[in-house]
Amino acid sequence: MKTKSHFLKMKAEQASIVMLTAYDYPTAKLAEAAGVDMILVGDSLGMVVLGYESTIPVTIEDMIHHTNAVKRGAKDTFIVCDMPFMSYHASKEDTMKNAAKMMQQSGADALKVEGAGDVIKTIELLSAAGVPIVAHLGLTPQSVGVLGGYKVQGNDAKAARQLLQDAINCEEAGAIAVVLECVPFQVAQEVTEKVSIPTIGIGAGPHTDGQVLVYHDVVGYGVNRVPKFVKQYAEVDELILPAISQYVSEVKQKAFPEMKHSFTMKEDELQQLYG
Ligand code: KIV
Ligand code: NA
Protein backbone atom coordinates (compact mmCIF):
# COMPACT_ATOMS: atom_id res chain seq x y z
CA MET A 1 0.00 0.00 0.00
CA LYS A 2 1.37 3.39 -1.03
CA THR A 3 1.27 6.26 1.44
CA LYS A 4 2.25 9.90 1.78
CA SER A 5 5.94 8.99 2.12
CA HIS A 6 6.02 7.39 -1.33
CA PHE A 7 4.99 10.69 -2.91
CA LEU A 8 7.27 12.78 -0.67
CA LYS A 9 10.14 10.63 -1.92
CA MET A 10 9.03 11.22 -5.51
CA LYS A 11 9.09 14.98 -4.86
CA ALA A 12 12.56 14.73 -3.31
CA GLU A 13 13.80 12.78 -6.34
CA GLN A 14 12.02 15.17 -8.72
CA ALA A 15 10.18 12.22 -10.19
CA SER A 16 6.99 13.63 -11.73
CA ILE A 17 3.80 12.35 -10.16
CA VAL A 18 1.17 11.46 -12.73
CA MET A 19 -2.45 11.73 -11.66
CA LEU A 20 -5.44 11.02 -13.86
CA THR A 21 -9.13 11.04 -13.06
CA ALA A 22 -11.18 7.87 -13.42
CA TYR A 23 -14.77 7.12 -12.54
CA ASP A 24 -15.28 3.47 -13.45
CA TYR A 25 -13.75 0.00 -13.60
CA PRO A 26 -12.46 -0.13 -17.19
CA THR A 27 -10.83 3.30 -17.03
CA ALA A 28 -9.19 2.48 -13.71
CA LYS A 29 -7.78 -0.73 -15.16
CA LEU A 30 -6.30 1.14 -18.13
CA ALA A 31 -4.92 3.91 -15.89
CA GLU A 32 -3.19 1.37 -13.68
CA ALA A 33 -1.84 -0.54 -16.69
CA ALA A 34 -0.45 2.72 -18.11
CA GLY A 35 1.48 3.46 -14.92
CA VAL A 36 -0.55 6.32 -13.49
CA ASP A 37 0.75 7.07 -9.96
CA MET A 38 -2.49 8.35 -8.45
CA ILE A 39 -6.07 8.08 -9.60
CA LEU A 40 -8.43 10.90 -8.71
CA VAL A 41 -12.09 10.07 -8.53
CA GLY A 42 -12.93 13.72 -9.00
CA ASP A 43 -16.31 15.30 -8.57
CA SER A 44 -15.79 16.29 -12.21
CA LEU A 45 -17.75 13.01 -12.33
CA GLY A 46 -20.81 15.25 -12.24
CA MET A 47 -19.92 16.99 -15.47
CA VAL A 48 -18.04 14.45 -17.60
CA VAL A 49 -19.94 11.28 -16.66
CA LEU A 50 -23.29 12.35 -15.22
CA GLY A 51 -23.90 15.29 -17.53
CA TYR A 52 -24.52 17.99 -14.92
CA GLU A 53 -23.62 21.62 -15.62
CA SER A 54 -21.28 21.80 -12.62
CA THR A 55 -19.91 19.67 -9.78
CA ILE A 56 -22.50 21.03 -7.33
CA PRO A 57 -25.13 18.23 -7.64
CA VAL A 58 -22.65 15.41 -6.91
CA THR A 59 -23.41 13.50 -3.70
CA ILE A 60 -21.36 11.45 -1.25
CA GLU A 61 -23.22 8.36 -2.49
CA ASP A 62 -22.22 9.14 -6.11
CA MET A 63 -18.58 9.45 -5.04
CA ILE A 64 -18.64 6.20 -3.05
CA HIS A 65 -20.38 4.30 -5.87
CA HIS A 66 -17.83 5.34 -8.48
CA THR A 67 -14.80 5.06 -6.23
CA ASN A 68 -15.72 1.45 -5.50
CA ALA A 69 -15.75 0.70 -9.22
CA VAL A 70 -12.37 2.42 -9.63
CA LYS A 71 -10.93 0.47 -6.72
CA ARG A 72 -12.03 -2.83 -8.29
CA GLY A 73 -10.17 -1.84 -11.47
CA ALA A 74 -7.01 -0.45 -9.86
CA LYS A 75 -6.29 -2.34 -6.66
CA ASP A 76 -2.62 -1.32 -6.57
CA THR A 77 -2.96 2.38 -7.34
CA PHE A 78 -3.29 5.20 -4.81
CA ILE A 79 -6.85 6.52 -5.06
CA VAL A 80 -7.94 10.00 -4.07
CA CYS A 81 -11.66 10.72 -3.80
CA ASP A 82 -13.21 14.19 -3.82
CA MET A 83 -15.42 15.18 -0.94
CA PRO A 84 -18.36 16.72 -2.79
CA PHE A 85 -19.93 20.16 -2.50
CA MET A 86 -20.87 21.19 1.07
CA SER A 87 -20.02 17.81 2.55
CA TYR A 88 -17.23 19.33 4.68
CA HIS A 89 -18.64 22.78 5.52
CA ALA A 90 -21.48 22.20 7.98
CA SER A 91 -20.69 21.12 11.55
CA LYS A 92 -17.48 19.44 12.59
CA GLU A 93 -19.60 16.36 13.42
CA ASP A 94 -21.14 16.22 9.95
CA THR A 95 -17.75 16.64 8.29
CA MET A 96 -16.22 13.87 10.37
CA LYS A 97 -19.18 11.58 9.75
CA ASN A 98 -19.06 12.21 5.99
CA ALA A 99 -15.30 11.66 5.81
CA ALA A 100 -15.54 8.49 7.88
CA LYS A 101 -18.25 7.12 5.60
CA MET A 102 -16.24 7.96 2.49
CA MET A 103 -13.05 6.38 3.84
CA GLN A 104 -14.81 3.25 5.10
CA GLN A 105 -17.10 2.65 2.13
CA SER A 106 -15.28 3.95 -0.96
CA GLY A 107 -11.93 2.20 -0.95
CA ALA A 108 -10.13 5.54 -1.33
CA ASP A 109 -6.66 6.06 0.14
CA ALA A 110 -7.19 9.80 0.62
CA LEU A 111 -9.89 12.45 0.34
CA LYS A 112 -9.59 15.80 -1.43
CA VAL A 113 -11.15 19.06 -0.25
CA GLU A 114 -11.21 22.43 -1.99
CA GLY A 115 -10.15 25.80 -0.67
CA ALA A 116 -8.43 27.38 2.33
CA GLY A 117 -9.92 29.72 4.95
CA ASP A 118 -12.14 27.65 7.23
CA VAL A 119 -11.19 24.54 5.27
CA ILE A 120 -7.68 24.68 6.79
CA LYS A 121 -9.19 23.82 10.17
CA THR A 122 -11.09 20.98 8.49
CA ILE A 123 -7.88 19.63 6.96
CA GLU A 124 -6.32 19.73 10.42
CA LEU A 125 -9.26 17.89 12.04
CA LEU A 126 -9.45 15.20 9.39
CA SER A 127 -5.69 14.69 9.28
CA ALA A 128 -5.59 14.38 13.05
CA ALA A 129 -8.32 11.76 12.80
CA GLY A 130 -6.17 9.75 10.41
CA VAL A 131 -7.67 10.73 7.08
CA PRO A 132 -5.03 11.54 4.45
CA ILE A 133 -6.14 14.81 2.85
CA VAL A 134 -5.21 16.30 -0.51
CA ALA A 135 -5.83 20.05 -0.64
CA HIS A 136 -7.00 21.90 -3.77
CA LEU A 137 -6.22 25.58 -4.33
CA GLY A 138 -6.50 28.11 -7.15
CA LEU A 139 -9.58 27.48 -9.25
CA THR A 140 -11.86 25.49 -6.98
CA PRO A 141 -14.85 24.43 -9.09
CA GLN A 142 -17.18 23.86 -6.11
CA SER A 143 -16.97 27.64 -5.54
CA VAL A 144 -17.39 28.59 -9.19
CA GLY A 145 -20.43 30.69 -8.34
CA VAL A 146 -18.40 32.75 -5.88
CA LEU A 147 -15.25 32.93 -8.03
CA GLY A 148 -17.34 34.21 -10.93
CA GLY A 149 -16.50 31.58 -13.52
CA TYR A 150 -13.80 29.14 -14.55
CA LYS A 151 -10.83 31.48 -14.78
CA VAL A 152 -7.20 31.84 -13.77
CA GLN A 153 -6.61 32.44 -10.05
CA GLY A 154 -3.71 33.98 -8.15
CA ASN A 155 -2.67 36.16 -11.07
CA ASP A 156 -2.05 39.37 -9.21
CA ALA A 157 0.59 39.88 -6.50
CA LYS A 158 -1.89 39.95 -3.64
CA ALA A 159 -3.76 36.83 -4.74
CA ALA A 160 -0.49 35.01 -5.44
CA ARG A 161 0.81 35.84 -1.95
CA GLN A 162 -2.44 34.56 -0.46
CA LEU A 163 -2.26 31.37 -2.52
CA LEU A 164 1.28 30.68 -1.29
CA GLN A 165 0.19 31.28 2.32
CA ASP A 166 -2.82 29.01 1.81
CA ALA A 167 -0.58 26.23 0.49
CA ILE A 168 1.75 26.59 3.48
CA ASN A 169 -1.28 26.49 5.79
CA CYS A 170 -2.54 23.32 4.06
CA GLU A 171 0.80 21.66 4.64
CA GLU A 172 0.91 22.75 8.27
CA ALA A 173 -2.63 21.46 8.74
CA GLY A 174 -1.43 18.05 7.62
CA ALA A 175 -2.34 17.85 3.92
CA ILE A 176 -0.37 15.15 2.09
CA ALA A 177 -0.39 16.97 -1.27
CA VAL A 178 -1.95 20.02 -2.87
CA VAL A 179 -3.64 20.35 -6.25
CA LEU A 180 -3.08 23.74 -7.91
CA GLU A 181 -5.65 24.49 -10.57
CA CYS A 182 -5.47 27.29 -13.12
CA VAL A 183 -2.73 29.46 -11.67
CA PRO A 184 0.17 31.20 -13.43
CA PHE A 185 3.14 28.87 -13.78
CA GLN A 186 5.40 31.22 -11.80
CA VAL A 187 3.05 31.09 -8.82
CA ALA A 188 2.80 27.29 -9.01
CA GLN A 189 6.59 27.09 -9.19
CA GLU A 190 6.98 29.31 -6.13
CA VAL A 191 4.45 27.22 -4.17
CA THR A 192 6.23 24.02 -5.25
CA GLU A 193 9.54 25.36 -3.93
CA LYS A 194 8.08 26.66 -0.66
CA VAL A 195 6.07 23.64 0.48
CA SER A 196 7.51 20.23 1.21
CA ILE A 197 4.39 18.29 0.19
CA PRO A 198 3.93 17.47 -3.51
CA THR A 199 2.10 19.99 -5.69
CA ILE A 200 -0.03 18.53 -8.44
CA GLY A 201 -0.90 20.98 -11.18
CA ILE A 202 -3.71 21.32 -13.67
CA GLY A 203 -3.30 24.43 -15.75
CA ALA A 204 -0.41 25.34 -13.45
CA GLY A 205 2.57 24.97 -15.77
CA PRO A 206 5.50 22.57 -15.93
CA HIS A 207 7.15 23.20 -12.56
CA THR A 208 4.76 21.43 -10.17
CA ASP A 209 5.72 18.05 -8.69
CA GLY A 210 2.97 16.33 -10.61
CA GLN A 211 0.21 16.81 -13.14
CA VAL A 212 -3.45 15.87 -13.15
CA LEU A 213 -5.88 15.84 -16.06
CA VAL A 214 -9.44 14.68 -16.53
CA TYR A 215 -9.60 11.32 -18.34
CA HIS A 216 -12.30 12.43 -20.78
CA ASP A 217 -10.16 15.41 -21.81
CA VAL A 218 -7.04 13.28 -22.28
CA VAL A 219 -8.71 10.78 -24.59
CA GLY A 220 -11.29 13.07 -26.20
CA TYR A 221 -14.35 11.25 -24.91
CA GLY A 222 -17.64 13.12 -24.90
CA VAL A 223 -16.14 16.55 -24.26
CA ASN A 224 -17.01 19.53 -26.40
CA ARG A 225 -14.39 22.20 -25.90
CA VAL A 226 -11.30 21.53 -23.81
CA PRO A 227 -9.54 24.32 -21.88
CA LYS A 228 -6.16 25.72 -22.96
CA PHE A 229 -4.28 23.72 -20.32
CA VAL A 230 -5.47 20.34 -21.61
CA LYS A 231 -3.50 18.21 -24.01
CA GLN A 232 -5.75 15.80 -25.84
CA TYR A 233 -3.83 12.63 -26.62
CA ALA A 234 -6.58 10.89 -28.55
CA GLU A 235 -9.99 11.50 -30.05
CA VAL A 236 -11.91 8.40 -29.06
CA ASP A 237 -15.26 9.95 -30.02
CA GLU A 238 -14.05 9.53 -33.60
CA LEU A 239 -13.76 5.78 -33.01
CA ILE A 240 -16.92 5.36 -30.99
CA LEU A 241 -19.40 7.32 -33.11
CA PRO A 242 -18.73 5.41 -36.38
CA ALA A 243 -18.80 2.11 -34.47
CA ILE A 244 -22.21 2.81 -32.96
CA SER A 245 -23.49 4.23 -36.26
CA GLN A 246 -22.43 1.10 -38.11
CA TYR A 247 -24.11 -1.10 -35.49
CA VAL A 248 -27.31 0.91 -35.91
CA SER A 249 -27.28 0.66 -39.68
CA GLU A 250 -26.41 -3.06 -39.76
CA VAL A 251 -29.28 -3.94 -37.47
CA LYS A 252 -31.65 -1.73 -39.50
CA GLN A 253 -30.45 -3.35 -42.74
CA LYS A 254 -30.59 -6.81 -41.14
CA ALA A 255 -26.87 -7.30 -41.81
CA PHE A 256 -26.24 -8.05 -38.13
CA PRO A 257 -26.33 -10.58 -36.56
CA GLU A 258 -25.00 -13.15 -39.03
CA MET A 259 -25.15 -16.91 -38.50
CA LYS A 260 -21.64 -16.80 -37.03
CA HIS A 261 -23.02 -14.70 -34.19
CA SER A 262 -25.89 -17.13 -33.56
CA PHE A 263 -26.39 -20.37 -31.60
CA THR A 264 -27.70 -23.51 -33.30
CA MET A 265 -29.89 -26.18 -31.76
CA LYS A 266 -29.08 -29.76 -32.88
CA GLU A 267 -31.45 -31.31 -35.45
CA ASP A 268 -32.60 -34.16 -33.20
CA GLU A 269 -33.53 -31.75 -30.44
CA LEU A 270 -35.40 -29.64 -32.96
CA GLN A 271 -37.28 -32.77 -34.07
CA GLN A 272 -38.33 -33.45 -30.48
CA LEU A 273 -39.36 -29.88 -30.05
CA TYR A 274 -41.49 -29.48 -33.19
CA GLY A 275 -41.97 -33.14 -34.27
O1 KIV B 1 -12.77 16.79 -10.01
C2 KIV B 1 -11.68 16.83 -10.61
O3 KIV B 1 -11.49 16.22 -11.68
C4 KIV B 1 -10.60 17.63 -10.03
C5 KIV B 1 -9.37 17.82 -10.84
C6 KIV B 1 -9.63 18.69 -12.00
C7 KIV B 1 -8.23 18.30 -10.01
O8 KIV B 1 -10.76 18.10 -8.94
NA1 NA C 1 -12.86 18.04 -8.13
In angstroms, rounded to a whole number, what is the distance separating the alpha carbons of residues 10 and 209? 8
Q: What is the pLDDT of residue 228?
A: 94
- Per-domain boundaries in the chain: 4-234, 239-274
Mutate which of 21, 79, 85, 134 for ligand 1? The one with the most ligand atoms within 8 Å of its CB, which is: 21
Determine contact, residues 28/43, Cβ cutoff 8 Å: no
Residue 21 Cβ < 6 Å to ligand 1:
yes
Instruction: Find out whether 82 is annotated in a ligand binding site.
Output: yes
ipTM of model: 0.99
10-residue averages of pLDDT along the chain (275 residues) = 92 98 98 98 98 96 98 98 98 98 98 98 98 98 92 96 98 98 98 98 98 98 92 97 98 98 96 91
The fold adopted by the segment(s) 4-234 is: TIM Barrel (3.20.20)
User: What is residue 138's three-state secondary structure?
Assistant: strand
Give the β-pairing of 110-114 and 133-138: parallel
Instruction: Give the phi and the psi of residue 255 in degrees, each rounded to 5.
Output: -90, -15
